[in-house]
A and B are shown apart, each in its own frame.
Chain A
């Protein structure tokens, strides 16, 4: 292992596992009808017309539906009654640090309508960007005239939002599944038993087809735990996103940013001298070229994890938007042929999304293994490079 002291390793692993939790709650919430940057301009006009009442025409309802699925939110809304406006779901806690810890249920916000009061300070969700601001008792948010940004103070937002619940659920699921799988080996004499058996060939696949060919037989064991964690974490989060609960974890730039940062840190902190030599003073290249190539390689250190982040985010986010739009198309075509064709198309697209879920997990893991392999490769690999 990279660090051989077991308690220290455990503490570091727990710390690293909690890193996605402390990424600040992303600009959110669908419950206040806030749009993402993609649909922002398209609905800027529509946004001003709809008051805080429920949307009535089909297109706004579809946009609300897409936003419910794709944006983060302070409550789990399973469904809502359009006529009465009643939401069925449960509220998640809001945890704010604003010169003191404020913890309250997001039901106080009443889906963005009311001003929440906690220990004497008042907070309100701003309708334009979905973030929580400190206001006075009447909930005024003063906006800067030039930029349109609110001038209110923004407290640090550590809330348990929908996305945080989803990553905690994925982590718990992984922990339960794989610990029971590991225990079943001891009980059954080296053969897996129970429901975890389905993961054994996948684990072996990650070891034999991803880790060993890219990292090499000597060093792959150090990285196996990280690669397996990344693979199953992304896979489970992608699959969660395909459920109708409205969870969109990997389609969230902060989550993929955290994962890419982890790959970046592991690559650069476990690299040996040859890695840095290859970046800044590459052998086999004329000296003048080396000076030209070194900045490009330096940029490459940052761009490679950046591309990991963008690739996962864009694939999952775009897939969800397209899928939700086609489901919404079912309600725009009110004819029997249009709606059934849209239904068929959305069904087929869902199957494609399952493939994309597996593929993106595989690609992220494989590219991480590739970067780790380049970090620990020995000097003798010189001749292997073309």
Chain B
């Protein structure tokens, strides 16, 4: 787990997950800014998408 390729792999995984979830968060905030009354639905959808990305992020993190 502490070999160099493992560490680099873990870093890449975190970059990937962070980018993905960051994009989702950004679009969610744009959507809420456009239409504040739909913020409940948008928040729910954002959480679902974030959890899916985090799921594969963790799976990869445990495989590395």
List residues of A whose CB falls within 8 A of some B CB: 38, 40-42, 209, 307-308, 310-311, 314-315, 318, 359-360, 362-363, 366-367
1/0 per residue, CB under 8 A from A, across B15-52: the answer is: 00000000000000000000000000000100110010
20 contacts between A and B (CB under 8 A): A42-B1, A42-B2, A307-B56, A308-B55, A310-B55, A310-B62, A311-B51, A311-B54, A311-B55, A311-B58, A314-B58, A314-B59, A315-B58, A318-B58, A359-B47, A359-B51, A362-B47, A363-B47, A363-B48, A367-B48
| Whole-angstrom CA separation of A339 from B27 in the bound complex | 39
Bound complex: CA of A61 vs CA of B25, how far in Å? 40
Q: Which residues of chain A are near B58, meaning CB under 8 Å?
A: 310-311, 314-315, 318
Candidates A38, A310, A315, A366; contact of B1 at CB < 8 Å: A38
Cβ-closest chain A residue relative to B56: A307
> What is the distance, in angstroms, from A366's C-beta to the closest C-beta of chain B?
6
- Kindly list chain B residues whose C-beta atoms are within 8 Å of the C-beta of A362: 47
Task: Give the chain B neighbours of A310 by CB distance below 8 A.
Answer: 55, 58-59, 62
Q: How far is the CB of A46 from chain B (nearest CB, A)?
A: 13
A10 CA to B1 CA, complexed, in Å: 46
Are B54's CB and A315's CB within 8 A?
yes
How far in angstroms is the closest Cβ of chain B from A147? 20
- In the complex, chain B residues whose CB is within 8 Å of the CB of A360: 51
Assembly CA distance A42 to B47 (angstroms): 34
Most buried by A among B44, B54, B55, B58: B55
Number of chain B residues close to chain A: CB under 8 A = 13
- What chain A residues lie within 8 Å of B62 (beta carbons)? 310, 314
Q: Contact between A209 and B44 (Cβ–Cβ < 8 Å)?
A: yes
Give Cα distance in the complex from A15 to B38, angstroms. Answer: 43
Select from chain A the residue with minimum beta-carbon distance to B57: A314
Determine the distance from Cα of A97 to Cα of B2 in the docked complex, in whole angstroms.
39
- Chain B residue at minimum C-beta to C-beta distance from A307: B55
Closest A residue to B62 by CB, please name it.
Answer: A314
Residues of A within 8 A of B54 (CB): 311, 315
- Chain B residues whose CB sits within 8 angstroms of the CB of A311 once the complex forms: 51, 54-55, 58-59
Give me 9 other A-B pairs in contact (C-beta within 8 A), A314-B55, A362-B47, A366-B48 excluded. Answer: A40-B1, A41-B2, A42-B2, A307-B56, A311-B59, A314-B62, A315-B54, A318-B58, A363-B51
Residues in A neighbouring B44, C-beta threshold 8 A: 209
Contacts of B1 in A (CB 8 A): 38, 40-42
User: Once bound together, how far apart are the Cα atoms of A315 and B51, in whole Å?
Assistant: 10
Nearest-Cβ distance from residue A151 to partner chain B, whole angstroms: 28
Bound-complex Cα distance A363 to B53 (A):
12
CB proximity of B12 to chain A, nearest CB, Å:
17
Top-8 shortest CB links A-B: A314-B58, A311-B55, A363-B51, A310-B59, A307-B55, A41-B1, A314-B62, A42-B2
Chain B residues near A307 (CB-CB < 8 A): 55-56, 59
Chain B residue at minimum C-beta to C-beta distance from A311: B55
Which residues of chain B come closer than 8 Å to A308, judged between CB atoms?
A: 55
Give the complex CA separation of A315 and B55 in angstroms. 8
A contact residues around B55 at 8 Å (CB): 307-308, 310-311, 314
A98–chain B nearest beta-carbon distance, Å? 33
Contact present for B51 and A314 (CB under 8 Å): no
- Chain B residue numbers with a CB within 8 Å of A315 are 54, 58
**Which A residues are in CB contact (< 8 Å) with B59?**
307, 310-311, 314
The complex places the Cα of A149 from the Cα of B59 at a distance, in Å, of 27
Which of A38, A310, A315, A359 gathers the greatest number of chain B CB atoms within 10 Å?
A: A310
A residues less than 8 Å from B2 (CB atoms): 41-42
